[in-house]
Chains A and B, each alone.
Chain A
């Protein structure tokens, strides 16, 4: 294998990846690795673009987990002293907001996220509990974050989640999403006939059963639970860029 090819592969698939985005250099790295290894990988990458690096604005992306401020500080100091980069900052963490209008922040780091769709999800993971089967009367399924069920939820059963609830089947029992207080959560079912819906602290009881066989979802609007045809509303399809949920 030629040396060049080897280098290329390292850039694409290694534990540290570098990408020019706008006027910044975006570096995606695995924060679980030892600092020494990360510094070695960073040296390797930055040597290859040494002229670009001088005074560059560098953004470090450690994935969605919090608590790597110290690591970013250490690596930032290392990059500044070794390669003379201009500034080093952390990538903004995800926010739980389904409302695209809220996201129009002037923050340049956000802009990077918006445009950099295909590469930057590497260290991100949405926590989803995915189950298949039938939840029966008297049974309760709980998920720390999102809950996805391939199957049905019977009357008398309860599904409970910290985040969203997606039922790829009939939802006839009770669904409690966004616990304890995430009113941005949704409850979606291919066949939406719940006994009761709760999102965050808001309860929707006695929802009129819809006769149409269509995919529906419940969400909170002005402190009330609203049920809409999912494909018609296309709330998420209308969002201008991808986000982690």
Chain B
């Protein structure tokens, strides 16, 4: 059976696309699926750094798309997790070296090799976005609980619908204490405006920075709340659609479980 290509996007930068791509990809591979994570941020690659694989790059996604190398040669095997492969961005090119048409054909090749392909989309809605979305079957929109991030996510959701892709929502960088004080947007308000299916709520977590700096997978970090949230998102994408969404709680509270239907209406 052909694999699924999922684009991880947000419009705005710095909300956690790369973190989400690495973490969800790792969690899916731990479930036994063959996974490729593709860094589409041509010219500003960093998924390789987050995954601790930068010293192994020989070929990159541009080489693979242009046929300068085989897909196998551009796929870097993860150091710890079986079945997880990184296809890195090229650092020297700019985003216009690839076209959406080329990406569609490349997607056909990827689908044959992998169960899941996660495209780490660059910020913005220009060529880099077009390329990342071109071959995608599905989309996960990452949104931070900030007004400007919601605005950009909304814009991207409109563009995705225009391409007949139904996006799913992940809210990242939630600080429960601030939400409780009313200083941060509540996830319910975000879902109310964006009105798409919610598949995960990820808290702000120091472990993310530690994992990034050491190049270790966040989802292998036992005590990481963000890692746990990303793992649950991966499970939901992998078919456990009735897995409840946990709302991050301030220290000292138990995690509260809420219904999975949350994303579908008020």
Contacts and interface: CB of A to CB of B under 8 A. Distances in A.
Contacts of B158: 136-139
Sorted nearest first, the 4 A-B pairs with minimum C-beta distance are: A136-B158, A137-B154, A138-B155, A137-B155
B97 interface: no
Q: How large is the interface on A (under 10, 10 to 19, 20 to 34, 35 or more residues)?
A: 10 to 19
A119 B193 CA distance: 44
A157 B157 CA distance: 13
A137 B152 contact: yes
Interface string A140-180: 00000000000010111100000000000000100000000
A189 B27 CA distance: 45
Contacts of A136: 154-155, 157-158
Interface string B216-258: 0000000000000000000000000000000000000000000
A165 to B, nearest CB: 19
Interface string B175-205: 0000000000000000001010000000000
Given A136-B155, A137-B151, A156-B154, 15 more contacts: A134-B195, A136-B157, A137-B152, A137-B155, A137-B158, A138-B154, A154-B193, A155-B147, A155-B150, A155-B151, A155-B193, A156-B151, A156-B155, A157-B154, A172-B193
B99 to A, nearest CB: 23
A172 B154 CA distance: 13
A46 to B, nearest CB: 57
Among B157, B159, B193, the one with the most A-chain Cβ atoms within 10 Å of its Cβ is B193
A221 to B, nearest CB: 31
Contacts of B159: 138
Interface string B140-169: 000000010011101101110000000000
A119 to B, nearest CB: 43
Determine chain B's interface SS by DSSP, over half rule. Answer: helix
Contacts of A134: 195
A138 B151 CA distance: 9
26 contacts: A134-B195, A136-B154, A136-B155, A136-B157, A136-B158, A137-B152, A137-B154, A137-B155, A137-B158, A138-B154, A138-B155, A138-B158, A139-B158, A152-B193, A152-B195, A154-B193, A155-B147, A155-B150, A155-B151, A155-B154, A155-B193, A156-B151, A156-B154, A156-B155, A157-B154, A172-B193
B188 to A, nearest CB: 14
Contacts of B193: 152, 154-155, 172
A155 B195 CA distance: 13
A130 B256 CA distance: 41
Contacts of A157: 154
Interface in B2-47: none
Interface string A34-66: 000000000000000000000000000000000
A139 B161 CA distance: 12
A65 B159 CA distance: 39
Interface in B60-85: none
A134 B196 CA distance: 11
Contacts of B157: 136
Among A136, A154, A155, A172, the one with the most B-chain Cβ atoms within 10 Å of its Cβ is A136
A138 B129 CA distance: 16
B161 to A, nearest CB: 8
A134 B195 CA distance: 9
Nearest to B150: A155
B129 to A, nearest CB: 13
A202 B159 CA distance: 31
A66 to B, nearest CB: 38
A134 B157 CA distance: 11
A152 B194 CA distance: 10
Interface in A171-204: 172
A138 B193 CA distance: 14
Interface string A98-139: 000000000000000000000000000000000000101111
A4 to B, nearest CB: 57
A234 to B, nearest CB: 29
Among B147, B154, B159, the one with the most A-chain Cβ atoms within 10 Å of its Cβ is B154
Nearest to A172: B193
Interface in A70-95: none
Contacts of B195: 134, 152
A150 to B, nearest CB: 14
